[in-house]
Amino acid sequence: MQTTAEVPILGGRPHLSHNRQLMNDASTTLRDAQELLDAGELEAAARRVETLTRAPDRDQAGEAWMIVGTARYRLDDEAGALVAWKSAAEAGGANAWLGYRSVAEQNVRDGQLEEAITAYREADRRAPAAERGAIANRIAWLLKETGHDFAARRQFNKARGAYATYLPIVTYAIIGICVALFGIDAILSGGATLSGGFLGGQPGPLGQENLINGRFVARGEWWRIITSAFFHLGPIHLAFNMYVLYLYGPIAERMYGRIEFGAIYLLCAAGGSVLTILVEPQQFAAGASGAIFGLIGLLFVVSRRHHAVIGRESRSMMAGIGTYLVFLLVFTFLVPGISLTGHLGGLAVGAILGFLLPPTGVETMGGMWRSPSGDRLSGGMPRSLRVAVYGAVGGLLVLGSYLAVSPFLG
């Protein structure tokens, strides 16, 4: 690239030979350079990645240029930093969006607002989904500042959509399945399931095959641990649970994404069932409330531990979640006919998952702190570790199930 020739690497010491540099592992080189950068050894950091700026691997070259740009910026060489960040953007690798964003930020500092808008738009095209809301918001403010009022309004709408608009498909699917199964049971039972009281009633033929009960699980009907969460004992029982799921399910789904939300919901449902057959194996129970208690517990812990950055409507819902949780617990303990173990089991699983797993679908306060290069100071949780957490919780539930049914296996 033409720009690369215009950026001399800092300092005047002899460069490492090409052959010697090729022998170094690229990831080690980048890590060493980042450590030098963090330690304030700015010239040494830039020299460390000199050869990698010409690497055929775009990701390596882009990351190397970002380090050079950060070093130059911290040495008050803003012109040199701008050229390096442009090189990172033009490298076209995974760091290209960071390069364009850094170019845009420097253009803003230089008063080149139209150029900044162009660079931000390029960053927006390449950035991960979680970053686009913030970039869209910056574009909107720049458009407003430069007198493009109509374009600014459209961009603000886009920014709000990037932060807040989310179709909670899994939540709606769960609600649809629960309503459909209740309707089918109502037909099969000749309407008997419609006569249920406030919290209880007579299950239909399908419900009877899926109520959680320790003896039936011991006979090999393991599916009841999950499927019992999709059946309800009366229309009011169904309506209450689905309304709470409608309120809080989309928030949790937005925070964790559809796949993880589905896993969280099923694990919380299983947590309620497993504690029920452990403590009250003779009890027959059904309903989504164990899973819903798990979601409430998850959101409560996440709001206190991870401080997720969410939209205005979600914030208003989350503001009173602690009080609502207390209300639900009091309700659970005082009202007869409620499965105490189902609620507490789901709550425990949700709280554990919320404590161990930071959200992936939204920013957190810790994740917003960044170095000048754009790297997160508080890194995200590796996917393999997240899978291990889900697997460990699932394994504990399997063990709990076995302990619960072992007395019946004789």
- One-character DSSP codes across 372-399: TTS-BSSPPPPHHHHHHHHHHHHHHHHH
10 Å CB burial of residue 296 (0-12, 13-18, 19+) is buried
| Helix, strand, coil percentages in the chain from 3-state DSSP, rounded to 5 | 70, 0, 25
pLDDT higher at 198 or 396: 396
pTM for this entry: 0.61
What is the DSSP code (8-state) at residue 17?
Answer: P
Give buried/exposed letters for 47-71 (b at 16+ CB in 10 A, else e). Answer: bbbbbbbebeebbbbbbbbbbbbbb
Q: Is residue 232 within 8 Å of residue 189, measured between CB atoms?
A: no
pLDDT tens digits, residue range 247-276? 999 999 988 999 999 999 999 999 999 999
CA dist 166 → 97, 403, 405 (Å): 23, 40, 41
At residue 181 the predicted structure's pLDDT band, cuts being 50, 70 and 90, is very high
Q: Is residue 379 within 8 Å of residue 327, measured between CB atoms?
A: no
10 Å CB burial of residue 285 (0-12, 13-18, 19+) is buried
Residues listed for the chain? 410
At residue 115 the predicted structure's pLDDT band, cuts being 50, 70 and 90, is very high
Crossing angle of the two packed helices 235-279 and 340-356, in degrees rounded to 10:
80
Report d(CA 321, CA 345) in Å as an integer: 19
Report d(CA 255, CA 310) in Å as an integer: 8
pLDDT at 296 > cutoff 80: yes
pLDDT at 129 > cutoff 50: yes
| H/E run at residue 66 | helix 58-74
Q: 3.50.50.60, 1.20.1540.10, 3.40.50.300, 3.10.25.10: which CATH number matches 173-409?
A: 1.20.1540.10
pLDDT at 389 > cutoff 70: yes
pLDDT computed for residue 10 by the predictor: 45
Class of domain 13-164: mainly alpha
pLDDT computed for residue 313 by the predictor: 67
- Phi, psi of 370, deg, nearest 5: -135, 155
Report d(CA 242, CA 222) in Å as an integer: 24
Give mean pLDDT, residues 216-235. Answer: 93
Locate the domains of the chain by residue range: 13-164, 173-409
pLDDT at 22 > cutoff 50: no
- Tokens, residue 306: 């991870």
Instruction: Count CA atoms closer than 13 A to 241's CA, side-chain side.
Output: 32
Q: Is residue 100 within 8 Å of residue 120, measured between CB atoms?
A: yes
Report d(CA 343, CA 289) in Å as an integer: 6
Residue 205, phi-psi category: left (phi > 0), alpha (psi -120 to 50), beta (remainder): alpha
Cα–Cα–Cα angle for 236, 176, 196, nearest 5°? 20
Report d(CA 273, CA 228) in Å as an integer: 8
pLDDT tens digits, residue range 34-58? 999 888 999 999 999 888 898 899 9
- Phi, psi of 258, deg, nearest 5: -65, -45
CB within 8 Å of 170: residues ≥ 6 apart: 249, 253, 258, 261, 262, 265
Give mean pLDDT, residues 275-291. Answer: 92
pLDDT computed for residue 165 by the predictor: 56
pLDDT at 163 > cutoff 60: no
